[in-house]
Amino acid sequence: MSTIKSGFVALAGKPNVGKSTFINTVFGRKVVIVSDKPQTTRNRINCIYTDKDAQIVFVDTPGIHKPLHRLGEYMVKAAIQALKGVDVVLFMLDAEDGFTKTDEHVAQIAKEAGTKTIIVVNKIDAVERERAEAIGETAKKHVENFVSVHYISALRGEGVPEVLEKIKEILPEGPQYYPEDMVTDRPLSFMVSEIVREKIFHLTYQEVPHSTAVIVEEIKDRPNGVLYIRATIYVERESQKGILIGKNGSMIKKIGTLAREEIEFLVGRKVFLDLNVKVKEKWREKDFIILHEIGMKDEVR
């Protein structure tokens, strides 16, 4: 059996730095949800990139931030845990924001993990080159195990192939961990909840997206070949429920239509998506819904 380069690469950075956009650009398709709102990613997600000479398992993590509630605490804990035991850390910075206190905190966590670190300055299309390079130089002073610094635009794909090549260069030789046609290790129920949540992020405003949790209650085949999916969207207040449903049900219909189209593309068949909205006050403080929401429901007993 021929040997390939293989290993795990954790993406680290503050919220909204472009980690999910980077992954989607690498894959040339949407693997993880994206939004211009911070803290869209709530979960650790393994995204499996396989080509003829390497298998790279990208670990997409929630942005590291100061948590304001129990959900935030779980998200940060998941992100920090992901930096331990991987082969490479991809430390991503925002060229528009500069090197912030949060970045300093992320750098310290990466340093403590003792893992080889590639520094990536993203969004270079939005700033002068000198500014981006100054951020890279500052980051190097805070990261002990850095291998190289790259300047990219994840959105435009600029510099992404070079980062990929550098990862392959430093990964060890090893086995292929997953089948080559597998792109994520998450089940369909998780992917469905992420897609629905993404549509809520795109279509609603202010606190509503961050106050929603999506739990898939049922997936079953119908005799006519249609895949039936029932999901509950939890919000924290009646007013948020009103916004999500919309006038005469217009908003929930729009969310459902967009989500259904994407799920049908994912599964390659017709889907009936049944969405319900329920109010659960302060759900971000309740372990059961939090663990469902971040894909750890099996840990609830």
User: Please, what is the average pLDDT of the chain?
Assistant: 81
Residue 199 lies in a domain: yes
Confidence of residue 93 (pLDDT cuts 50, 70, 90): very high
Q: Are residues 11 and 156 in the same domain?
A: yes
Q: Are residues 99 and 20 in the same domain?
A: yes
Point out the domain boundary residue: 123, 151, 174.
174
Q: Are residues 66 and 131 in the same domain?
A: yes
Provide the phi-psi class of 50: left if phi over 0, else alpha when psi is between -120 and 50, else beta.
beta
Give the β-pairing of 146-151 and 88-94: unpaired
Q: Give the Cα separation of 45 and 62 in Å (integer).
A: 9
Residue 179 lies in a domain: no
Q: Are residues 192 and 137 in the same domain?
A: no
pTM over 0.85: no
Tokens (6 digits) for 142: 């805070």
Confidence of residue 296 (pLDDT cuts 50, 70, 90): very low
- 8 beta partners: 57
pLDDT at 65: 42
pLDDT at 290: 46
Which range, of 58-72, 131-145, 230-244, averages the lowest pLDDT?
58-72
Residue 180 lies in a domain: no
Residue type, 6: S
Q: How many residues are there in the chain? A: 301
Residue 218 lies in a domain: yes
* Residue scoring higher pLDDT (131 or 82): 131
Residue 301 lies in a domain: no
Q: How many CB atoms lie within 10 A of CB 284?
A: 20
Summarize the confidence of residues 235-263 as an average pLDDT.
91
Point out the domain boundary residue: 117, 140, 174.
174
Name the domain count of the chain.
2
* Residue scoring higher pLDDT (131 or 37): 131
Helix (H) or strand (E) holding 256: helix 250-267
CATH number, residue 106: 3.40.50.300
Residue 31 lies in a domain: yes
- 92 beta partners: 120
Q: How many CB atoms lie within 10 A of CB 47?
A: 23
Q: Are residues 151 and 259 in the same domain?
A: no
Backbone angles phi, psi at 21, to 5 degrees: -65, -40
Q: Where in the sequence is the domain holding 216, given as residue range(s)? A: 188-296
CATH number, residue 236: 3.30.300.20
Q: Are residues 153 and 81 in the same domain?
A: yes
